[in-house]
Amino acid sequence: MKTFSSDSWPDLVLTGRYVGHLEDLGGQRLSASAAKAFDALKAAAAKDGFMLSIASSYRDFERQEQIFSGKWRGVRPVHDDSGAPVDISAMDAGQKLDAILRFSALPGASRHHWGTDLDVYCAKALGSDTLGLTPQEYGPGGAQHALALWLAEHARDADFFLPYDIDRGGVAAELWHLSFAPQAGPLLSRLSADKVADALSYGRVAGYEDIVPRLDALMARFVTNVAKP
């Protein structure tokens, strides 16, 4: 029987600082097993009329640091659940973290670091529109709603699950985010606050001094607070 074990991967995989386990999919990268499983899911989706495409897959630490630090410094927009921009300039550190982590992962703690997770959409339904990966697109009346319903029913057929299937009070529901369960589950169990703190220190992430004292609580709310694989 084929094994998908990720137990032997180095700890640097956890925080987005290792790429030796990844396959290039023509601009996107996934682990070999996740890529094979996605091909199967894509074929199944095609039979039901969906053109399943990848919007985002592997994201290294440096890229996640740019996104997070840009939002922390106010040079990248931060949005609320309705998609409206929020002004973080008057917020204290805790409020800023809550607002940013609602939709953007902490560098070193992003599931996109692992090569097991990806954001998907139906290219046929998108048409000439610009993809935003927003709750409105994947909710009732949205262009990607039919795909979201299909994924909820069929993703597990290919060993994927939706870690952010509902709002658990941490990361907002992301009905476009798939995770390859056989590898992502064990990786999450290996990720600790100490390992994330080490990565944050290494990467000189903006807000480091405010983040580290809150890290245990942030991990519990925004990292491990997900659906079961």
Question: What would the pLDDT profile of 61-107 be if each residue is shown by its tens digit?
Answer: 999 999 999 999 999 999 998 889 999 998 999 999 999 999 999 99
Average pLDDT of the chain is 95
- Mean pLDDT, residues 122-136: 94
Please state the φ and ψ torsions of residue 42, each to the nearest 5 degrees: -65, -40
Q: If DSSP codes are grouped into helix, strand and coil, which group holds residue 160?
A: strand
- For the chain, give the percent of residues with pLDDT over 90: 93
Can you give the pLDDT at residue 1? 33
Q: What is the pTM of this model?
A: 0.95
Six token digits for residue 34:
């996740």
Task: Decide if 114 contacts 163 (C-beta within 8 A).
Answer: no
pLDDT band, very low/low/confident/very high, at 39 (cuts 50, 70, 90): very high
Can you give the pLDDT at residue 5? 83
Can you give the pLDDT at residue 2? 53
Locate the DSSP E strands across the chain: 22-24, 29-31, 52-56, 117-122, 160-161, 177-180
**Residue 74, by phi and psi: left (phi above 0), alpha (psi -120 to 50) or beta?**
left
